[in-house]
Amino acid sequence: MTPALRERLVAAAEAAMQRAYAPYSNFFVGAAVLAASGAMYTGCNVENASYGLTICAERNAIFQGVGAEGAQFRIRAIAVSNKACVACSPCGACRQVIHEFGPEAVVVFRGAQGYTSMVANQLLPAGFSLL
């Protein structure tokens, strides 16, 4: 992935983060997915008074992509940002969902020193698959 593309993806994730609904944790997250089609999809975390119903920004963005493109949707890259600017890699549930649509996808997230990236397969070795 080129530095310019990575910057574009991070900027889109940061824009999506502004729309996060996180009144319970105050942890505001945004994600942007670059699909194999070339389209970009974004999402933010959406919390609920019934805490377990919360959806993470990554899955929100990915589901936007599936909703738009259907079963052929594939992830080329995904960027995640958070307002607190702390190290934050995708949670286990999101790793599994990223793996479903892009085991080779580049995942850009905040590490200890700014944004870093890993391949989805590295973040979730031996991810579950039925296909």
List, by residue number, the catalytic residues.
Answer: 58
| Smallest distance from ligand THU to CB 91, Å | 5
DSSP state of 21: B
Of 89 and 121, CB closest to ligand THU:
89
Q: Which two tokens stand for residue 20?
A: 């996060």
Of 35 and 57, CB closest to ligand THU:
57
Cα torsion 93, 109, 84, 63 to 10°: value is -40
Of 72 and 84, CB closest to ligand THU:
84
According to DSSP H, which parts of the chain are helical? 3-17, 57-69, 92-101, 120-123
| Smallest distance from ligand THU to CB 28, Å | 8
Q: 74 and 102 in contact (C-beta within 8 Å)?
A: yes
Residue type, 93: A
Site residues (vs ligand THU, CB under 6 A): 22, 25, 27, 29, 45, 47, 54, 56-58, 80, 88, 90-91, 94
| Smallest distance from ligand THU to CB 109, Å | 8
